[in-house]
């Protein structure tokens, strides 16, 4: 898994289209130029961390999703932690 600016830009464009927004409307909401948004969506320009976070909040997605295309799975992490805790508890009882 690695960062690909074109894929990241495509995800932003898809999120924008799902919300029924034009580039002009989204650019205005993000306080950036339409030109910059177009370059971002085509993977020709990067974004600041602040803009990345703002986009994530606006669309209700994680920055992991925007950058890498994967969502954080909170339930999976909890299940894994529960499993480790159970294993450690079993080991402690053997001592």
Going by C-alpha positions, the residue among 28, 59, 62, 63 that lies closest to residue 47 is 63
Residue 27 confidence (pLDDT): 98
Q: Which domains does the chain have, with CATH numbers?
A: 5-94 (1.10.260.40)
43: left (phi over 0), alpha (psi -120 to 50) or beta: left
Tens-place pLDDT, residues 33-83: 999 999 999 999 999 999 999 999 999 999 999 999 987 666 767 778 888
The tokens describing 10, both together, are 């495509």
Burial of 26 (0-12, 13-18, 19+ CB in 10 A): buried
């Amino acid at each position: 898994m690695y960062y690909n600016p074109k894929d990241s830009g495509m995800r932003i464009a898809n999120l924008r289209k799902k919300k029924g927004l034009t580039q002009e409307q989204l650019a205005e909401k993000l306080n950036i130029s339409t030109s910059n948004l177009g370059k971002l969506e085509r993977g020709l320009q990067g974004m600041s961390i602040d803009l990345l976070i703002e986009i994530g909040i606006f669309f209700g997605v994680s920055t992991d999703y925007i950058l890498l295309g994967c969502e954080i799975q909170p339930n999976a992490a909890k299940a894994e932690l529960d499993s480790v805790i159970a294993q450690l508890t079993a080991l402690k009882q053997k001592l």
